[in-house]
Amino acid sequence: MSRVRRAITVGACLLAVLPAGACSSPLVKPGATGAPGAGDPYFPLQGNGGYDALSYRIDLRYDPHSSHLSGRTTMTARATETLSRFDLDLRSWLRASSVTVNGKPATAASARGQELVVTPPHPLPAGAPFTVDVSYAGPARHLVESGIETGFITTDDGAFVGGEPDGAPTWYPVNDTPRDKATYTVAVTVPKPLVAVSNGVLLGVTSAGAQRTWTWRLDQPVSSYLVTATIGRFDVRRGRTAAGVPSFVAVDPRQARRADPVLRMLPQMVEYFSSVYGPYPFDATGAIVDNAYVGYALETASRPLFDRAPDQPTLAHELAHQWFGDDVTLARWRDIWLNEGFAQFSSWLWDEHRGRRTAADALRQLLRQPAGNPQWWDPPPGDPGSARDVFSWSVYARGAGTLEALRQRVGDKMFFRILRGWLAAHRFGNATVPEFTRYAARVSGRDLTSFFHVWLYQQGKPSKW
């Protein structure tokens, strides 16, 4: 299939749509074309090849009255091969008005609905750092895929911005693969008195007339789907955990009565999971509670995002993701168990810690579910099978049961040694399910092949484990 291209910035070659490399210096051998996808079988066009993103600076401006979004994003990256052309992920309704590479005008065109194809004025040498600067604008829109709303979701007073699994390109140009982690500075300009909340530490709030800009900085590298720029009328609460981690909590006033009693537990949860799993991964913590009712909460890095007031298990689930999902992140979407199974088990663990139902009781209750009730058992969590099944309930419930069953198999001391070691060994990295199962077997000194096959890969209710 041919790709339709539209010239949006051209520099010295101001003609029309140009073939890749047309503006390249004749003295430099043209390089490779960066792949338009990162190779994930569930999301073939998600992410790109040929470079490694290191940091993003996102300057965003949003007008909730007109639902108009505009921005300027600067990505600093390193070429992993000599590049004559590369892609960014940016949804087609956001039109780029200018693109530069290393400060010089570049040719760019949209393709396949989410690809921004960039041709720099000269090939980029393998191993060399480079910067890409994109100015863009368009209507605020989000995606609806497999019944899940993701991306820049407009609300009655702003926007609920959740990127999992592929919503990040609805508001900034990005290498949208979980494997390409980067640091972020996000500045969001909105009309007063709206609040704009992103990840990490609040650097400052500045005013200019009727507008106010909120600037945030996340110094730990994370995957693109974990970044937010949620906007609304929020009450703000600041504090610190017992270990001194600063907390920023933003709550829609319409949700405050139900949210506040639960959110008061947040510092205790962070301290508890730190005692179990190891040091809290980020420089800040907190939460965002919107009045959005989109049907899910999300583990946005350092500051989980909720579409309504959460209960304690939900808050515990999303906070545990700061370790399992945000610090150590799946390498492929089929590895979703490393995120969701571990976070769901952690909510069981929090209940156990506060004297409620134990994780062993939760496993017994799970195993009472009949084999003929497929939502609890299929698809198996180690291999959901397709993009539409990534967030199946079995990934959560059976996924959590796998971990409690492992805990009972190897004993408490060894189990938590495995989890802490796993996190330390993959800090701010990516991993696969087979890597975890091999790690657990090696550290425990046990043959867990059959155990993990039954719990993670076998169709139907686990038996004889």
- Cα–Cα distance measured from residue 150 to residue 141, given in angstroms and rounded to the nearest whole number: 9
Give the H/E segment covering residue 139.
Answer: strand 129-139
The string of pLDDT tens digits covering residues 51-84 is 999 999 999 999 999 999 999 999 999 999 999 9
Nearest Cα to 436, choosing from 450, 424, 419, 451? 419
pLDDT in tens, 374-421: 999 999 999 999 999 999 999 999 999 999 999 999 999 999 999 999
As beta bridge partners, residue 289 has 251, 306
Q: pTM for this structure?
A: 0.93
463 in a domain, yes or no?
A: no
Q: What is the pLDDT of residues 335-363, one digit of tens each?
A: 999 999 999 999 999 999 999 999 999 99
In one-letter notation, the amino acid at residue 18 is L
Separation between Cα atoms, residue 328 and residue 134, nearest integer Å = 29
Provide the domain limits for residue 383.
Answer: 329-457
Q: Indicate whether 253 and 220 sit together in one domain.
A: no
% of the chain beyond a pLDDT of 90: 91
Say yes or no: 82 and 220 in one domain: yes
211 and 240 in a single domain? The answer is no
Do 188 and 73 share a structural domain?
yes
Residues 322 and 337 in one domain: no
Listing DSSP states for 258-277 in one string gives HHHHHHTTHHHHHHHHHHHH
- Same domain (yes/no): 309, 451: no
**Do 115 and 204 fall into the same domain?**
yes
Instruction: Single out the residue in 327, 351, 381 at which a domain terminates.
Output: 327
Residues in the chain: 465
What's the total number of domains in the chain? 3
ω before 281 within 30° of 0 (cis)?
A: no
**Domain annotation covers residue 30:** yes
CATH number, domain at 268? 1.10.390.10
Task: Quote the DSSP letter at residue 34.
Answer: P
pLDDT at residue 12 in the model: 29
Looking at residue 312, its pLDDT comes to: 98
Same domain, 254 and 209: no
| Whether 338 and 318 share a structural domain | no
Give 89's contacts (C-beta < 8 A, 6+ positions apart). Answer: 45, 46, 47, 48, 114, 115, 116, 168, 169, 173, 174, 175, 176
In DSSP terms, 89 is beta-bridged to 115, 174
Whether residue 37 lies inside any domain: the answer is yes
C-alpha 460: how far from chain center = 30
pLDDT band at 463 (very low <50, low <70, confident <90, very high): confident
- Read off the pLDDT band of 32 (50, 70, 90): confident
Same domain, 320 and 419: no
Give Cβ neighbours of residue 237 (< 8 Å, ≥ 6 apart): 247, 248, 249, 250, 251, 263
